[in-house]
Structure 1
């Protein structure tokens, strides 16, 4: 009976570690995602509006929706990453360098399997429809529309930069998880002090 309680406690601890590490990594890269706007010479927050506007929110509310979705998904990725690493012995985050490596791989996987299809097949078409449609329920100002069109035209840059930032997010996630989980795996024998 106590083993069952220990398993639940250990799982809950892993979820807390993933949640915290995901939040830290998501917040650490918040300004980097804002730099997409700066690199394309458009107002700050325009990238986050690509999430909010298709959801029917305009202005600063669209930026807040985009930011909240970004932070929420970062926490969920952190939880999934830590739970997965705790179940498969090969991927356990027993050292910080291993955490960074597996985190970077996780970031690349998240980019290719989640961000790329969602951005390309869902968000961009919805945004283009919102910009082209004159009978839309949201009011997009001409300056805002121009910035969003610039973002759509620079979509190749956005994708490359986002790929880099997702890998960086994963590396920070693995680093933070490695820091937090260091004591848990202190007595685990390591192969060449890494694996």
Structure 2
């Protein structure tokens, strides 16, 4: 398992059977006060997680909206892409806007972000509280030796299959039961968390 150390933080890259992701790690998931000024080096990545506070609208420099970070700081995100009006259309108030390797911009008198490549921004269908709740659930499963090792419903450990998000099930019956109990709303969010868990953010 790779260990990564920085001046402010260290982390252990997760595996198929160990969930180590920490959403409070300001090196990987910086808030407004910890966002790097310069673009990332080749072996560096970070993700700014924000919650959408306003509907998309035309703004100076493109189309955008107001967001808040994990500490509650508010700032604008402006899409300055060739298809900005279309790119922001799907973004909904109360959902998460994730910005890959974003750098802060000075809009005078306010600071914020400019998205020039739509592939560096994406939305998750939840708010910050839900993202944290699901991450804590995965951490608990990992501590109990269940993460990636047993059925998410009945806890059997044999003949496992994976959902799109990599949640494990012993068969279709358990998978369907979990889907109807709420996994249908959580699948995309869990897929993101499980994927982030295995990224080597800083080499």
What is the TM-score normalised by the length of structure 2? 0.23
Larger RCO, structure (CA 8 Å, separation 6 or more): 1
Which is greater in Rg? 1
Q: Which has the higher strand share?
A: 2
